[in-house]
Amino acid sequence: MRPKDEVRLAKIRKISWVLGAICSLFMLACLIAFILSMTGPIFRHGRYWGKGILWQGYNGVEFKVYSLTARERVIVAISLVLEYGAAFFCGLQLFRLLRFYSRGEIFTADSARQLRLWGFACVAWGIVKVGWFLLPLAIADSRHYQRVDIGSTVFVGLGIVALSWIMEMAVEIREENELTV
């Protein structure tokens, strides 16, 4: 390997390590937020809920935890598990990808596969966001129109999946070229 490429690889390893640490903090924040937000549906109080479960701009409906029935609290708890679970899973897949990069395994079949898993995790997180849009319909008879914001994660996730397939094909081409030399 050329000295110039070794310097670049060292930078990639260092940046990947730092970003992996940030991903670890993100996953820890997801766990802490999940634990704090679950105290409302479980213990039926509004301590960590601020104005309510659903903010005023969210379909124009606002709920207080203490006013929800047991069935509605179960629906909210399941929604929180899905939301924080999808966010944690997305952070975990990115952490694993960055771990490959920090070891210098950039254009490998394993890193391309991990990139694809991260893309699917982003898509799953976007789909869960649609569930938050439908939550007022499950809890109350609310028929307010609200724009669904799934583009930020679903389409980015699909783009990441497409890039992973391209990267996997590039890995195969590189391996074929190495065999012919």
Q: What is the pTM of this model?
A: 0.75
Distance CA(101)–CA(14), nearest Å, equals 9
For residue 137, what pLDDT is reported? 63
pLDDT over 80 (residue 96): yes
What pLDDT band is residue 25 in, cutting at 50, 70 and 90? Answer: very high
Instruction: Please tell me the predicted confidence (pLDDT) of residue 16.
Output: 92
pLDDT, averaged across the chain = 78
Instruction: Give the Cα separation of 5 and 39 in Å (integer).
Output: 51
In degrees rounded to 5, what are phi and psi of residue 173? -65, -45
Query: Measured in whole angstroms, how far is the alpha carbon of residue 5 from the centre of its chain?
Result: 32
Per-residue pLDDT band for 139 (boundaries 50, 70, 90) equals low
Domain residues for the domain of 118 are 3-180
| 38: nearest Cα among 89, 84, 69 | 84
| Residues of the chain above pLDDT 70, percent | 72
Provide the domain count of the chain.
Answer: 1
Residue 49 has pLDDT above 70, yes or no: no
Least confident of 19-23, 61-65, 82-86, 102-106: 61-65
- Are 13 and 103 contacting, i.e. CB atoms less than 8 angstroms apart? yes
CA distance 152 to 125: 10
pLDDT band at 69 (very low <50, low <70, confident <90, very high): confident
**From residue 70, how far is each of 44, 65, 136, 152 by CA, in Å?**
9, 10, 15, 33
One-character DSSP codes across 73-119: HHHHHHHHHHHHHHHHHHHHHHHHHHHHHHTT--SSHHHHHHHHHHH
Residue 19, helix vs strand vs coil: helix
Residue 124 has pLDDT above 70, yes or no: yes
